């Protein structure tokens, strides 16, 4: 990019004349870098560019972020230890999940440490499986949120209102790709105990389950 254009390239709808014909083919409007600049500014950061015609461009973004030591990072990353999962061996989990691929993934992860899993193809089946089981059969429930007939929120509320003690105390863990704070808050508000993001990460799932083992 020319030195003249570099002075204005972060302004909306700006394109360098020598590449305007190329951009018009792809439908470019000159908004991309303006949006990037705005986002970086909102995060109290800076963006700079180093460019020479016919050689290329380098963009550098600097953002203020909190830092932790390598030791602290390793401690957070290694909060799960395989030997701890032995405490879960033989436990039975009810998995409410309508996607068959996700069912297979959950089954594979759970069976790795001898955890038994009963699959429910939707929330209504899951609620009925729980209500027809003997009290104390299930150690926890893994609850997908988006299912036909009865979604995860409705299923959780239906289980919590069943006239049996374990219906009020069994850990119910949401499984979903919705990981915004408001999504997590909604899960907790309807009676779930915890939340885990999809796609399932094995160690994260074991760690979630072990939280309730320690209580």
For 13-35, the pLDDT digits (tens) are: 777 764 444 444 444 566 788 88
Find where tokens 């007939």 sit.
149
- Pull the structure tokens for residue 21: 């014909």
pLDDT in tens, 103-134: 999 999 999 999 999 999 999 999 999 999 99
Average pLDDT of 202-207?
90
pLDDT of residue 77: 55
186 CB-near residues (< 8 Å, 6+ apart): 153
162 contacts 181 by C-beta, under 8 angstroms: no
pLDDT of residue 23: 44
Can you give the pTM of this predicted structure?
0.64
96 contacts 128 by C-beta, under 8 angstroms: no
Q: Where are the domains of the chain?
A: 3-62, 84-213
Nearest to 57 by CA among 6, 13, 7: 6
Domain 3-62 part of CATH 3.30.565.10? yes
161 DSSP 8-state letter = T
Q: Classify domain 84-213 at the CATH class level.
A: alpha beta
């Amino acid at each position: 990019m020319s030195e003249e254009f570099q002075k204005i390239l972060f302004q909306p709808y700006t394109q360098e004349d020598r590449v305007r014909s190329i951009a018009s083919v792809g439908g470019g409007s000159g908004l991309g870098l303006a949006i990037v600049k705005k986002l970086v500014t909102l995060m109290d950061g800076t963006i700079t560019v180093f460019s020479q015609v016919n050689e290329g461009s380098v963009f550098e973004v600097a953002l203020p972020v909190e830092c932790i030591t390598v030791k602290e990072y390793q401690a957070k990353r290694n909060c799960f230890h395989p030997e701890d999962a032995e405490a879960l061996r033989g436990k039975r989990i009810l998995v409410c999940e309508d996607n068959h691929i996700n069912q297979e993934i959950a089954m594979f992860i759970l069976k790795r440490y001898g955890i038994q899993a009963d699959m429910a193809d939707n929330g209504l089946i899951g609620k009925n499986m729980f209500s027809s089981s003997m009290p104390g059969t299930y150690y926890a429930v893994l609850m997908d949120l988006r299912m036909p007939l009865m979604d995860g929120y409705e299923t959780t509320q239906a289980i919590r209102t069943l006239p049996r003690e374990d219906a009020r105390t069994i850990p119910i863990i949401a499984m979903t790709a919705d990981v915004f704070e408001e999504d997590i808050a909604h899960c907790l508000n309807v009676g779930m105990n915890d939340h885990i993001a999809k796609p399932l990460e094995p160690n994260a799932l074991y760690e979630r389950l072990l939280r309730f083992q320690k209580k």
